[in-house]
């Protein structure tokens, strides 16, 4: 297993560099003059060509983008992601402040998706074509059909504005001392919306995987031996159905970050998602590259964790 993990990490290194190179190139070649983002439109219109060129040289925009990428990569490998185009706080510190709120939101959403999506999928499979299966299928497809921003705005309107029982935005009540209950109260709606968005997908895959395993000969044999149905379901059906579920969950982990961008913006949750929206509107490339590095690492780690989980779920899988 150790040898396999090392091999996967070595394979991930060129993939990581490829991702950063591609994204940096897209940012560098996108239309518009970066000087406008630095000085503002009003100031830019009053500047002479010489002054504009001076600003470009100051920030290194007078060099080819490939040269700028090599310089950025050299600093990034040392833990220096540079400074934003506006502001004096380093990119690393900005990400450091925003990562904990996003991890709290994503972790809670992931837990909620697991404890709701997978059990619902199991029930749908065991009660195939029953009234319960039909109702749950309808609810799952309804959830999958509704955009998260629509659900988020609807929840704010109903539970915050009309009923007044839930906070509308932020991580805590302004002007109040920190309280765990208050933090949980602010976390409920954004985590529920983000988690249920994945729960519907996981429920459908769990149902399909369970039904596929239930038709296997070894399940029929286990039942013929007189094993209790609970043992057949847990040991033979669910355990063998876990592999496709693990794949879907691992592949869906990075999408939680994408969903957090919308959810955090709606609920003004001060995490990576809000920072992404803000810096994208300002075309702040250094900060966006830092977010790209973070996202790439998450994707590569989720794939590695999925492969490790395979061996834990199915003892037949061995990595030599």
What is the reported pLDDT for 42? 80
20-30 pLDDT, tens per residue? 999 888 888 87
What is the reported pLDDT for 152? 87
Q: CATH number, domain at 153?
A: 1.10.3720.10
Note whether 58 and 121 are same-domain residues.
no
List, in order, residues 6 or more apart from 297 with CB less than 8 Å away.
16
Note whether 181 and 45 are same-domain residues.
no
Note whether 28 and 127 are same-domain residues.
no
Note whether 25 and 162 are same-domain residues.
no
Note whether 122 and 260 are same-domain residues.
yes
Note whether 173 and 292 are same-domain residues.
yes
On whether the CB atoms of residues 265 and 277 are closer than 8 A, the answer is: yes
Q: How far apart are CA 168 and CA 184, in angstroms?
A: 13
Residue 67 dihedral angles phi and psi, to the nearest 5°: -65, -40
Q: Is residue 318 part of a domain?
A: no
What is the reported pLDDT for 135? 92
Query: What 3-state DSSP class applies to 147?
Result: coil
Q: Is residue 320 part of a domain?
A: no
Note whether 16 and 145 are same-domain residues.
no
What is the reported pLDDT for 319? 58
In the block, tokens 């994707």 appear at: 299
Note whether 256 and 123 are same-domain residues.
yes
What is the reported pLDDT for 317? 62
Range of the domain at 223: 97-313
Q: Is residue 85 part of a domain?
A: no
Q: Is residue 235 part of a domain?
A: yes
Q: Is residue 20 part of a domain?
A: yes
Q: Provide the residue count of the chain.
A: 320
274-286 pLDDT, tens per residue? 888 888 877 888 8
Q: Is residue 216 part of a domain?
A: yes
**Would residue 178 be called left, alpha or beta, if left means φ above 0 and alpha means ψ between -120 and 50 degrees?**
beta
Note whether 72 and 112 are same-domain residues.
no
Note whether 50 and 115 are same-domain residues.
no
Q: Consecutive sets of 10 residues in the chain, 320 residues long: mean pLDDT of each?
A: 75 87 86 77 82 83 87 88 81 90 89 90 90 90 83 88 86 84 90 86 88 85 84 84 78 73 87 86 85 85 76 62
Structural domains in the chain (count):
2
What is the reported pLDDT for 120? 92
Note whether 298 and 186 are same-domain residues.
yes
Note whether 21 and 125 are same-domain residues.
no
Q: Is residue 251 part of a domain?
A: yes
Residue 97's H or E segment, with its range, is helix 91-126
Which of 76, 110, 132 is a domain's end point?
Answer: 76
Q: Is residue 179 part of a domain?
A: yes
Hey, CA dihedral for 153, 158, 160, 162, is it positive or negative?
positive
Which of 45, 76, 107 is a domain's end point?
Answer: 76
């Amino acid at each position: 297993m150790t040898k396999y993990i090392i091999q996967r990490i070595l394979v991930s290194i060129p993939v990581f560099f490829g991702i950063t190179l591609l994204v940096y190139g897209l940012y560098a070649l996108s239309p518009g003059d970066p000087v406008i983002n630095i000085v503002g439109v009003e100031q830019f219109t009053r500047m002479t060509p010489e002054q504009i060129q001076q600003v470009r040289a100051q920030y290194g925009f007078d060099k080819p983008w490939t040269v700028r990428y090599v310089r950025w990569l050299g600093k990034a490998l040392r833990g220096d992601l540079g400074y934003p185009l506006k502001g004096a706080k380093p990119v690393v510190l900005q990400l450091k402040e925003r990562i904990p709120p996003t991890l709290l939101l994503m972790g809670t959403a992931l837990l909620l998706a697991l404890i709701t999506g997978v059990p619902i999928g199991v029930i749908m499979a065991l009660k195939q074509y029953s009234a319960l299966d039909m109702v749950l299928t309808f609810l799952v497809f309804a959830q999958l059909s509704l955009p998260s921003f629509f659900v988020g705005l609807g929840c704010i309107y109903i539970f915050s504005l009309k009923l007044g029982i839930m906070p509308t935005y932020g991580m805590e009540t302004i002007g109040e001392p920190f309280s765990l209950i208050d933090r949980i109260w602010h976390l409920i709606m954004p985590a529920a919306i983000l988690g249920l968005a994945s729960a519907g997908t996981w429920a459908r895959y769990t149902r399909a995987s369970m039904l596929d395993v239930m038709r296997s000969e070894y399940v029929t044999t286990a039942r013929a031996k007189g094993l209790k149905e609970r043992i057949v379901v847990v040991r033979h059906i669910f355990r063998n159905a876990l592999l496709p579920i693990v794949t879907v969950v691992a592949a869906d982990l990075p999408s939680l970050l994408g969903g957090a961008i919308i959810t955090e913006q709606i609920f003004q949750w001060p995490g990576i998602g809000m920072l992404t929206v803000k810096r994208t509107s300002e075309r702040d490339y250094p900060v966006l590259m830092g977010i790209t590095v973070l996202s790439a690492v998450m994707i590569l780690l989720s794939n590695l964790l999925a492969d490790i989980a395979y061996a834990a779920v199915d003892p037949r899988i061995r990595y030599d």
